[in-house]
Amino acid sequence: MKAKKVKNFLMSLFSMLLIVAITIIIVSCQGKSEEVIGDAELESSNSSIDDEAKYEESLSGDDVALFDIHQYSQNDVSSTINLDDYCVSILYNNNPNKTINRTISIYGNVPVNNGAEVVTSAFSALYSDIKLYSDGECVFSSKKYSVSSTDIDAGVQILFELEIDNDNVEERIYHIDEVELETKAGNVTSLSTDTFWITVYSEAENGVAIMDSPYANTVDLNLDEFIIVDYTFYTINTDSKNEFDVTLYIPDELTEYLDISIFSTAKNEDLTKVVYDELKGKISTEQASILCAYDITTSITRNTEKHFVAQLSFNIDITGEDELIGAFCPFSVI
């Protein structure tokens, strides 16, 4: 009887130990399972954080400013044009009898990812009136314009070329601080700008004329680098002097962004012969005897990170009186 009790006791003890062992194994497995799930969740969480970091990093890149132009209505798309990426100094010739510099160009950037062709199409027939203001005064207005666009890293460069409605604008340098765009639907958008100048001059009809200048010459010029640019004019004016002065006629503020200076003015014998051959039989003997072509050699240094467009004009007194001659095209670093 006593042995049976011991046996029953041992069986009960074994059962209890077995239950405890099974419980420990279950708890251990659950712990390991929870640990694995925890690691998986941590890995998943870290992956999610990495993805968000990559997304944020992509937003901080060059593409952050680019958008789809189709997100904007015709009334709102005008506000996307940025004029202040450009430092612009251009010419307008007030003489209706001359053909050069008879339009005005507006340069801007549209930060879109659609490409130049889409941008040109979007803006080509959008406006009924474009006005340029200086100190609150409307200096130029245009109801007829053309658009050209070029793909650049920051989106699309857009160029509006305006045919000006109003002639006889006073001859001086205007700082354009506002461009007003009115759509055909009557919506008006005003764009402000700090670095846009227009020099108005009247090309004289006296036998002194520019004949060679950079034709839309665009170059890659780093900050503080300079480039030498030649401009050539000729004279058949019988009052022309062999010795004369040539000075730049540019906005004073432009020198904050570009350092422009004249290196020299010298006769160009080769071009003199070219002009003589072209004008032979069209000018008098006296004019032919005085005919001479001159190179104006300039140095242009970039002092700004802005893209710049500089169309130079020169004040010369070769006939004994001051007169302005202007380059055909601007010299630009885009």
Q: What is the pLDDT of residues 142-200, one digit of tens each?
A: 999 999 999 988 899 999 999 998 877 999 999 999 999 999 999 999 999 999 999 99
Instruction: Read off the pLDDT of each residue in 257-265 and give the average, rounded to a whole number.
Output: 93
CA atoms within 13 A on the CB side of 146: 4
Tokens 């007169």 identify what position? 323
pLDDT value for 215: 63
Q: Is the pLDDT of residue 315 over 90?
A: yes
User: What are the angstrom distances between the C-alpha of 273 and each of 280, 297, 319?
Assistant: 10, 20, 21
Q: Is the pLDDT of residue 32 over 60?
A: no
Which token pair is 281? 């039989």
| Assigned fold of 204-334 | Immunoglobulin-like (2.60.40)
User: What are the angstrom distances between the C-alpha of 178 and each of 134, 196, 210, 239, 332?
Assistant: 7, 9, 31, 43, 22
Which token pair is 208? 């002194």
H-assigned helices in the chain: 2-59, 116-124, 269-279, 285-290
In 3-state terms, what secondary structure has residue 98? coil
* pLDDT band (50, 70, 90) for residue 284: very high
pLDDT value for 107: 95
Burial 169-203 (b: 16+ CB within 10 A, else e): eeeebbebebbbbbbeeeeebebebebbbbbbbbb
Residue 291 makes CB contacts below 8 A (sequence gap 6+) with 234, 235, 236, 272, 275, 276, 279, 283
Closest Cα partner for 303 from 221, 186, 212, 187? 221
Q: Is the pLDDT of residue 296 over 80?
A: yes
Please report, for the chain, the start and end positions of each structural domain, with discontinuous segments joined by +.
Answer: 2-60, 64-203, 204-334
Tokens 């062999």 identify what position? 242
Tokens 């798309």 identify what position? 77
pLDDT value for 6: 36
